């Protein structure tokens, strides 16, 4: 559990940074530095989620763990020729809050 706690803390930190960058640069298209920072933290966060034990993931079936892994591959390998900023905004607005709650729950155990 100690290792998983480190990953959970790392994920929580990435989410916090992403939220902060998104607030300071709501138009990610117009701010390439903020977009790059968000993308990097999404990648790092996604990689950390892949290292969480299955029992942690099983406690949170509402989180699309496989989609997060697939999203990481898109970020890293640049599938489809680039990243659409509107997709990133959707991830920040719709997906991160759910993950943030799940990670917070795990950290409180």
Backbone angles phi, psi at 106, to 5 degrees: -65, -40
Q: Which of 36, 57, 54, 35 shows the shortest CA–CA distance to 102?
A: 57
pLDDT value at position 80? 55
Band (pLDDT 50/70/90 cuts) for residue 2 is low
**Spatial separation of the C-alpha atoms in residues 73 and 79, rounded to whole Å:** 8
Question: Under 8 Å CB-to-CB from 15, ≥6 apart: which residues?
Answer: 45, 96, 99, 100, 103
Section 44-51 average pLDDT: 96
Is 108 a residue whose pLDDT tops 70?
yes
Give catalytic residue positions. Answer: 72, 77
Is 29 a residue whose pLDDT tops 90?
no
């Amino acid at each position: 559990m100690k290792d998983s706690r480190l990953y959970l803390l790392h994920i929580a930190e990435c989410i916090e940074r992403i939220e902060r960058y998104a607030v300071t640069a709501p138009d990610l298209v117009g701010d390439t530095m903020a977009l790059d920072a968000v993308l990097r933290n999404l990648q790092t966060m996604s990689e950390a989620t892949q290292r969480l034990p299955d029992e942690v993931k099983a406690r949170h079936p509402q989180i699309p763990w496989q989609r997060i892994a697939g999203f990481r591959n898109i970020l890293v390998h640049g599938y489809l020729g680039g990243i659409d900023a509107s997709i990133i905004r959707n991830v920040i607005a719709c997906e991160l809050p759910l993950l943030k709650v799940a990670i917070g729950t795990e950290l409180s155990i």
